[in-house]
Amino acid sequence: MRPSPFQRLQPDTPVTVTLLMINIQSLTFAYPRGAPLLQDFHWQIQRGETWAILGSSGCGKTTLLYLLAGLKFPTSGTIQIDGEPLKRPRPQTGLILQEYGLLPWATVRENIALGLRLRSFYGADGVHAPRGSQTPAAKPVDWWLHRLGLTPVAGQYPAQLSGGQRQRTAIARTLALQPDLLLMDEPFSSLDAPTRENLQALTLELAAEHGLTLLLVTHAIEEAALLGQKILLLGKAPNSRILSNPGAGLPEYRESPAHLAMCQTLREQMKGEE
Say if residue 49's pLDDT is above 80.
yes
pLDDT tens-digit map of 211-240: 999 999 999 999 999 999 999 999 887 788
Q: What is the pLDDT of residue 133?
A: 45
What is the reported pLDDT for 8?
A: 32
Output the pLDDT for position 5: 34
Kindly report the average pLDDT of the chain as a whole number.
Answer: 87
Per-residue pLDDT tens over the stretch 144-180? 999 999 999 999 999 999 999 999 999 999 999 999 9
pLDDT at 261 > cutoff 80: yes
Helix and strand numbers (H, E) in the chain are 7, 10
Helix (H, G, I), strand (E, B) or coil at 195: helix
Residue 251's pLDDT band (cuts 50, 70, 90)? confident
Q: pTM of the entire structure?
A: 0.87
- The CA-based diameter of the chain, rounded to the nearest angstrom, is 71
**Stretch 38-55: mean pLDDT:** 95
Per-residue pLDDT for 84 more than 60? yes
Which segment of 76-80, 96-100, 182-186, 207-211 scores lowest on mean pLDDT?
96-100
* pLDDT given at position 156: 97
pLDDT of 3 reads 40
Percent of the chain with pLDDT over 90: 70
Tell me the fold of 22-273.
Answer: Rossmann fold (3.40.50)
- The pairs formed by 58-61 with CB atoms below 8 angstroms and a separation of 24 or more are 59/234, 59/235, 59/236, 60/29, 60/234, 60/237, 61/217, 61/219, 61/234
- For the residues 49-66, what does the mean pLDDT come to? 93
Give the CA-trace dihedral at 66, 220, 209, 244, to 10 degrees: 90
The confidence band for 119, taking pLDDT boundaries of 50, 70 and 90, is confident
